Amino acid sequence: MRRWLWILVLALSATVRASAPEGSIDSFLDREMPASGMPGVAYAVVAHGEIASMGARGVARAGGHRKLTPDTPFLTGSISKSFTALAVMQLVEAGKVDLDAKLSDYLDGFSGRPGGVITIRQLLSHTSGFSTMQGNTRPARRSDGKDALADRVEQLATVTPAYKPGARWAYSNINYQILGRLIEVVSGQTYQAYVTTHILHPVGMTHSFVADGETHAAMATGHRPWFGTEQPMSTNRTDRATAPQGGIVASASDLARYLQMMMNGEDDILSAADKARMMRPASQASPFYGFGWFVDVRHGTVWHAGASPGFESLATMMPTRKKAVVVLVNAGSGLGFAETAPLRDGITDRALGLTDDSGGSRWPPKLLFIGFVLLPIFYVLSMIWAWRYRDRLRAKARAGLFGVFSLWFPLFTTLVAAWVCLRLVPSLNAAPLGTVLLFQPDFGWTLIANAVTGPLWAVLRLGLAYTGRLARV
């Protein structure tokens, strides 16, 4: 159904796009969208400080008929950190927060704790000492009520930072969850109420809101990778506890207004000086991150990507040229297949006049994923072979040291492979296996299948070798 929908859309718009230049966003989407497997994308471009263009392709939910528009709200993921940083800076300007004060000065739960000596500046710039893995670890208990964020930060108060505060940069969601709670305690409002009142409304973000634990039908539905396809999430329910790190739900059109405000050089909801401070390196320990924004001094860009289960996003600014672009996709990337990065980067490069690096080969990660998928099948076939030729295994058990080694060595190698699948690969992605399953369920279950079938095959071989009788010839 979705394929025919794309054919119809392209046919109806062919006359309009016939004159589109080869390097335009429209011509790029004509080529990339059918091949990407993405349910939909929305974008908006700012040029000379004004919204120059907006667009959307696809549907809000795969198999559905509701088309995306530039006003459709998407979960923006970690772009939300810039909103949290902006809110903190508003409180700094109001004299309610000191950037160099200790966390324990504001949150009693951190008093006497290892994290209590972390400063607000260090939280904003990801130099607190909390690691990426710590930030991607799901809480021991979950709360869905209005106190969900307070409950989450209460648990975080017991976490010991992985590194000495201020010594090194490490991106961690923990930093911005704590900052969200700081905003609540200092302002006396919930995070949702504060951001809505002091940022969304003044900027004119009428198609945006903050994750509140409720289900919102107006949102685009997220889709997660499933063996080369994208499967829709069962619900559009949002999460209050993760709102400060990734819970701003916004449309492309509204985010364009937000980026306009960040680049306008005016004193409005925040002074021009502090907007500029947010968009430059925060310290020597944070040479490429400011307050809520990545900073690329060499290219003159300020940006942030976002990834939530079922959604990915990218917002990029060139402040000195008053240019910006935001791209929202209602799908998460698979490993090699159904990747969103080439589409997001391609739109961004064309909007800002940057070099398009999206044309590289995608086969290495595809081959890696295919290998992970095929290996459990190989193990199952090997189990069948072992059962059929079990007499050969029993003969090895009686064939001396070399035969015994050939029987036991696969157990060692498959146990190592299981450790690689369950521990090493997730750690290389700085995320526990549970988080991998949440974002990339196909890859996560493939890792589990490999970790189970490999040792099972090795144990079966040993069981067959040392039980039963050797058939007589």
CATH 3.30.420.40 matches 74-328: no
pLDDT in tens, 55-69: 999 999 999 999 999
Where, residue-wise, is CATH 3.40.710.10 in the chain? 74-328
Give pLDDT, residue 140: 75
Residue 59, by phi and psi: left (phi above 0), alpha (psi -120 to 50) or beta? beta
What digits encode the pLDDT tens for the residues 361-404?
A: 678 888 999 999 999 999 999 999 999 999 999 998 888 899 89
Return phi, psi of residue 58, to 5°.
Answer: 90, -165
Nearest Cα neighbor of 28 from 256, 327, 324 is: 327
Q: pLDDT tens digits for 290-338?
A: 999 999 999 999 999 999 999 999 999 999 999 999 999 999 998 888 8
Distance between the two ends of the chain, CA-based, in angstroms? Answer: 60
Q: How does pLDDT run across 398-431, given as a tens digit for each residue?
A: 888 998 999 999 999 999 999 999 999 999 989 9
Determine the Cα angle at 375 with ends 374 and 380, to 5°: 100
Residue pointed to by tokens 């009428």: 206
The first and second tokens of residue 470, run together, are 């050797």
Distance CA 190, CA 183 (A): 8
Q: Answer yes or no: is pLDDT of 1 > 80.
A: no
Residue 268 has pLDDT above 50, yes or no: yes
What is the value of pTM for the model shown?
Answer: 0.90
